[in-house]
Amino acid sequence: MSTSEQRAPGAPAPAGFTPLCVPEIRGNEWAYIKDCLDTGWVSSVGAYVDRFERAVADAVGARYAVATTTGTAALHVALLLAGVERDDEVLTSTLTFIAPANAIRYVGAWPVFIDAEPGTWQMDPQKVTDFLERGCEWRDGALRNRATGRRVRAIIPVHILGHPVDTDPVLDVARKFGLTVIEDATESLGARYRGRPVGHLGDMACFSFNGNKLLTTGGGGMLVTDDEALAKRARYLTTQAKDDPVEYEHHEVGYNYRLTNLQAAMGVAQMEQLDAYVAAKRRIASTYAEALGEIPGLTIMPEASWAWSTFWMYTVLVDADTFGIGSRELLKTLERARIQTRPLWQPLHRSPAHRGAFAVDCSTAEDLHRRALSLPCSVGLTPESQREVIDQVTRLAARTVP
């Protein structure tokens, strides 16, 4: 967007403007951060780091959690832990924010982009299976992509927008072919799949606490796993692979990926609000669903029968022919009413940053990308502001229906 209303995530909104999604800070953030300042425990060691890790591990029912500077850093480390190497391939969703594909490139590997499925907009498990069973072959003791000859090592299903991927079929086929499953759960903390918490489905999972996520530490991430050896190694790699803290001996090249105690203090306060924030998001979603569900040409955000969605980013599909205008024109019209909306990400198989990657047929993701528009859905969105968004959309629909 080319207006002055383009804002960094987390920046305060000007009056009379309804932002897409901003952080909600209303609990113990001030007290806990002040505690860090008062005690001098501000850096990458401290009680809040431990408490934050425990809180996230407990929330997803995992045994271990390792805090990182960002969700992208957590994904990078997870790929290293999975043993993914240069010129290997890793399956991931095409319809997602770019971070998982970038992390795959950080280890020199290549993404294989998988289409979304039309019912939930998530990674299509059938297309994962089809690719592995028909698009790959065993050669020289390794599973290889027939088209590229590269070795396939792992799958990163991305639970987008607060809704889980249909993960069981992905886990089944991964087990069959010996692939590691790393959940990108960065958009879906608090969601559940068939009653199980998202982030506790595969071998490892990554969360993000960036400014636009459900909970934020300004910037931050977390790697969770039940595997003690992986957790230990994650801690090692995120602290510059330090082997002797006195003599500064390092046996490997590590990373400076540890979260600070200051940020973790904010994280602990945010985690105390997780259930309340999910409830707020679900309330916003059901209000939208009730008000917009009957409008011809609008498809409201799905929730599968087996899913408990956080509706992190409330998104609708706009059918230009029936609704009267398309998603991008709706964006511009709402912008004039000082309401901020956003399309979804350019599907990654179309991204110039990832040309050279292999992709299966991704026509569903392309169709979703054309039609999708995310509506204001901050945890703190007032009923009045939401009513205003609904009224604007409803008025447009009324005007365009013959």
Ligand X SMILES: *Cc1c(COP(=O)(O)O)cnc(C)c1O
**Distance (Å, rounded) from C-alpha 108 to C-alpha 392?**
47
**Distance (Å, rounded) from C-alpha 245 to C-alpha 193?**
41
User: Scanning residues 142 to 161, which ones bind ligand X (CB under 6 A)?
Assistant: 158
User: Scanning residues 22 to 51, which ones bind ligand X (CB under 6 A)?
Assistant: none
CB of 186 to ligand X, least distance (A): 4
Helix, coil or strand: residue 209: coil
- Quote the distance between the C-alpha of residue 200 and its chain's center: 15
Residue 186 is a binding residue for ligand X (CB under 6 A): yes
Question: What is each CA distance from 152 to 122, 177, 187, 242, in whole angstroms?
Answer: 21, 9, 25, 31
Q: Which stretch binds ligand X (CB under 6 A): 183-191, 226-234, 246-254, 388-396?
A: 183-191
Q: How many chain residues interact with ligand X (CB under 6 A)?
A: 14
Sort residue 87 into left (φ over 0), alpha (ψ -120 to 50) or beta: left
Buried b (16+ CB within 10 A) or exposed e, 110-126: bbbbbbbbeebbbbbbe
- Per the CB < 8 A criterion, the answer to whether 392 and 337 are in contact is yes
CB of 159 to ligand X, least distance (A): 8
**Distance (Å, rounded) from C-alpha 315 to C-alpha 369?**
11
The residue number whose beta carbon is nearest to ligand X equals: 71
In angstroms, the first-to-last Cα distance of the chain is 31
Q: Which of 221, 267, 297, 324 binds ligand X (CB under 6 A)?
A: 221
User: Scanning residues 368 to 397, which ones bind ligand X (CB under 6 A)?
Assistant: none
User: Scanning residues 95 to 114, which ones bind ligand X (CB under 6 A)?
Assistant: 96-97, 99-100
Here's the x/- map for ligand X, 56-85, by CB under 6 A: it reads as: --------------xxx-------------
Q: Which stretch binds ligand X (CB under 6 A): 31-39, 42-50, 93-101, 109-117?
A: 93-101
Q: What is the identity of the amino acid at 125? A: P
Q: Which of 184, 203, 303, 366 binds ligand X (CB under 6 A)?
A: 184
Buried b (16+ CB within 10 A) or exposed e, 355-366: eebbbbebebbb
Q: Which stretch binds ligand X (CB under 6 A): 28-36, 92-100, 271-279, 316-324?
A: 92-100
CB of 140 to ligand X, least distance (A): 33
Question: Nearer to ligand X by C-beta: 177 or 345?
Answer: 345
Nearest to 69 by CA among 265, 270, 263: 263
Question: Nearer to ligand X by C-beta: 18 or 188?
Answer: 188
CB of 223 to ligand X, least distance (A): 12
CB of 199 to ligand X, least distance (A): 13
CB of 345 to ligand X, least distance (A): 9
Q: Which of 187, 203, 303, 366 binds ligand X (CB under 6 A)?
A: 187
Q: What is the identity of the amino acid at 32? A: Y
Which runs of consecutive H residues, i.e. helices, occur in 200-256?
228-238
CB of 279 to ligand X, least distance (A): 22
- Per the CB < 8 A criterion, the answer to whether 182 and 174 are in contact is no
**Distance (Å, rounded) from C-alpha 238 to C-alpha 262?**
17
In the complex, which residues of this chain contact ligand X (CB under 6 A)?
Answer: 70-72, 96-97, 99-100, 158, 184, 186-187, 208, 210, 221
